[in-house]
Chains A and B, each alone.
Chain A
Amino acid sequence: MKKKLIIGVIGADVHAVGNKILDHAFTAAGFEVINLGVMVSQEEYIEAAVECAADAIIVSSLYGHGELDCRGLREKCQEAGIGDILLYVGGNIVVGKQPFEDVERRFLDMGYNRAYPPGTDPETAIGHLNADLGV
């Protein structure tokens, strides 16, 4: 059976182009993609993942406020009974130019399994998904 991914752009972020590219890329790579579109709240990712029994939640953020929007998502997943679900985050996820090692560390500490800097190819994430989900 195809592995199921919940994707969407978190917070008050309306950037739709990258979201559509990811939808195409993940679908072409053999995943079942449930795309929540733009301006997605943490609760919407979780509700979708619960109802669909998804294998991973992939959070995008482009507008620089991702660090605020992404806090607490892992804890809420635990509360909703899907504490072990894979969480990825990528895009332009922090304000300004910061060394990505620091940024990545902060997101991993928040409970994300993978965090990606700007300009990451979808193939990188697809490779990680295949490895993490044992596809």
Chain B
Amino acid sequence: MPLLLIDFGSTFTKLTAVDLQAGEVIGAAGAHTTVETDVGEGLNTALSELKRQTGLNHFERRLACSSAAGGLRMVVCGLVPALTAQAAKIASLGAGAKVVKTYAYELTREDVDEIAQTAPDILLLTGGTDGGNRACILHNAKMLVDCQARFPILIAGNRACAAECESTLAGWETARCENVMPGLGKLNVEPVQRHIRELFLRRIIQAKGLSREAALIDGILMPTPAAVLRGMELLAKGTGALPGLGELVAVDLGGATTDVYSMASGAPDNGNTVMKGLPEPWVKRTVEGDIGMRYSADGVLAAVGADELGRLANLASDTVIELVGQIAVNPATLPDTQALAALDCALAGAAVQVAMTRHAGTIEEVYTPTGPTWLQTGKNLTGVKTLILTGGALIHSERPEKIAGHALYSQAESASLRPKSARILVDRKYIISAMGLLAEDHPETALGILKRELTERGKPV
């Protein structure tokens, strides 16, 4: 009997049916997500569509991931912006969360009011290495006591004061876990990510009215970005028996945000390079909240400027500004004129370039009295040979390779360590999150399908 994989997205609920024996996708369907009423309605519409296409009605299991109702919204607090605050953000993004805001140093009364307005699903409270600074996290725990909104607080700071934070927050739902940065520059993201997922399963799904579907599905396993990460990691590393594709990067270009994933060590090419900043995890995800094709089209304009977008689209700068203004006001705009189609292509290229540049590391040549040397911050992705495109704007594009070119290394921005030459694979059927779900119990089947369905110029790899 087939297995059904469900992705409750913010706008679409997507279904993928898989035949486990044959190891194939046997059907896919979608419908609008209906989070205002009951997500079950949209799910049923999509199920009818799937039945109409394939005749399938019964499934062995139904597994789901969700980014509906705003996704897993988190606020993170740390001490130094480049240290624990950054570590907390990296850990949360890697758990599939949407990090609404990152606070560093001591929270003020205004910050706490702002957090109450934000009403996150989880707040991650960090600060201090183990045995390090105590004052900041204790201050922040005290400030949060009076917060006018309620949400679970995950405490992952200096272990020497975790118990004191917890007792300060008596009456709140709290969870304690290992420090996200136990020693200076040492990232410890897995324990935080396990706790986030556990809270997501136990609390968030229910709070968002997604669990009424419990009768229809066997469980929402994870936030959608976590499923995508799982699928990407599987594709890169392979399983014990089947090889993966090796190091890869992926871009998911959406209407409001652009996600970039890298499965790579990011080590320097050259032994003469000094590393700066926090070490970054092999599995890394970044989200650009200001870069997207519709809601965030004005963010792309702000990032690259009207002249550059105009150059890419072969339009006058004034026209670009006018059209981007229209798109931002009306996100349902379709590229139904020649100018809008050209602008969409330019927006996609620019968005991919900005998001990949922010994700990738940088290198700087420094002249010292003993000769030139290099300073690298973040991941060196120049040697990564596979670039995956996913998300509506890319997978439905007629010329994805052209857009993808903007993600690659360029001589003009030689400090940005983006891939130098990579084959471009397109996730035409949008199956990566589904395969991340399938990978929980059937990694080899999921890997086989990924390798078959991600295509290079229409051909499997």
Q: Which residues of A contact B (CB under 8 A)?
A: 1, 4, 12-15, 32, 34, 36-39, 44, 47-48, 50-54, 63-65
Known pairs A34-B183, A39-B366, A53-B133 / 12 extra A-B pairs, C-beta < 8 Å: A4-B132, A12-B367, A14-B373, A39-B274, A44-B276, A50-B79, A50-B80, A51-B79, A51-B132, A52-B129, A63-B368, A64-B369
Minimum CB distance partner of B367 in chain A: A12
Q: Which A residues touch B183, using CB under 8 A?
A: 34
* Interface presence of B211 (CB below 8 A): no
Q: Which B residues touch A48, using CB under 8 A?
A: 83, 184
* Interface presence of B329 (CB below 8 A): no
Q: Which B residues touch A53, using CB under 8 A?
A: 128, 131-134
* Interface presence of B370 (CB below 8 A): yes
Q: Are A51 and B373 in contact (CB under 8 A)?
A: no
* Interface presence of B375 (CB below 8 A): yes
15 pairs, CB–CB < 8 Å, chain A vs chain B: A1-B131, A12-B367, A14-B274, A14-B370, A34-B184, A37-B274, A39-B276, A47-B83, A50-B80, A51-B79, A51-B128, A51-B129, A51-B184, A52-B131, A54-B132
> Out of A12, A32, A51, A54, which one reaches B80, CB within 8 Å?
A51
Q: Which A residues touch B128, using CB under 8 A?
A: 51-53
> Out of B184, B366, B368, which one reaches A52, CB within 8 Å?
B184
CB distance from B50 to the nearest CB of A (A): 52
Minimum CB distance partner of B274 in chain A: A39
* Interface presence of B92 (CB below 8 A): no
Q: Are B370 and A47 in contact (CB under 8 A)?
A: no
- Report the separation of the CA atoms of residues A14 and B271 in the bound assembly, to the nearest whole angstrom: 13
Interface size on B, as a range, is: 20 to 34
> Out of B80, B368, B375, which one reaches A47, CB within 8 Å?
B80
CB distance from A62 to the nearest CB of B (A): 10
**What's the dominant secondary structure at chain A's contact region?**
loop
**What's the dominant secondary structure at chain B's contact region?**
loop
Q: Which residues of B contact A (CB under 8 A)?
A: 79-80, 82-84, 127-129, 131-134, 181, 183-184, 274, 276, 366-370, 373, 375
Closest 8 CB pairs of A and B: A52-B132, A12-B368, A53-B133, A53-B132, A47-B80, A51-B83, A52-B129, A34-B184
Question: With A34-B184, A38-B274 in contact, do A50 and B133 touch (Cβ < 8 Å)?
Answer: yes
CB distance from A72 to the nearest CB of B (A): 19
Q: Which B residues touch A37, using CB under 8 A?
A: 274
Q: Are B184 and A63 in contact (CB under 8 A)?
A: no
- Report the separation of the CA atoms of residues A13 and B370 in the bound assembly, to the nearest whole angstrom: 8
Q: Are B368 and A14 in contact (CB under 8 A)?
A: yes
Q: Are A65 and B369 in contact (CB under 8 A)?
A: yes
Minimum CB distance partner of A6 in chain B: B184
Minimum CB distance partner of A16 in chain B: B274
Among A12, A36, A53, A54, the most chain B Cβ lie within 10 Å of the Cβ of A53
CB distance from A106 to the nearest CB of B (A): 21
- Report the separation of the CA atoms of residues A77 and B26 in the bound assembly, to the nearest whole angstrom: 63
> Out of A12, A32, A51, which one reaches B366, CB within 8 Å?
A12
Q: Are B133 and A13 in contact (CB under 8 A)?
A: no
CB distance from A48 to the nearest CB of B (A): 5
Q: Which B residues touch A65, using CB under 8 A?
A: 369
CB distance from A15 to the nearest CB of B (A): 8
- Report the separation of the CA atoms of residues A65 and B370 in the bound assembly, to the nearest whole angstrom: 12
- Report the separation of the CA atoms of residues A63 and B371 in the bound assembly, to the nearest whole angstrom: 12
Q: Which B residues touch A63, using CB under 8 A?
A: 368-370
